[in-house]
Amino acid sequence: MDNKKGRYVLIASIASSVLICAVFMLLAMLKNSRLTTSLYTQVDIMAGMIFVFILSFIVFVSLWSGKFEKKL
């Protein structure tokens, strides 16, 4: 049962982190497109997405593991 819980936590954490990264990218690109001069380069946005993914993955692993532990 622990193996299934681990898989569910991993899938849910990756999906949640990808969703947060997509929101970050959308907001960064909207902010960049509204200004006449770009504040951020594409490298800045990609580096920010990697940073957001790693941090959100760590947070979501701890959150989802608690949720799935209670259910299973």
Express each pLDDT in 5-56 by its tens digit: 888 899 999 999 999 999 999 999 888 888 777 888 889 989 999 999 999 9
0.85 exceeded by pTM: no
CB-CB contact of 42 with 25 (8 Å):
no
Higher pLDDT, 72 or 4: 4
pLDDT reported for residue 67: 85
**pLDDT reported for residue 16:** 96
Residue 65: which residues within 8 A CB-CB, separation 6 or more? Answer: 5, 9
Mutual angle of helices 2-34 and 42-71, in 10-degree steps: 150
DSSP characters for 41-55?
-HHHHHHHHHHHHHH
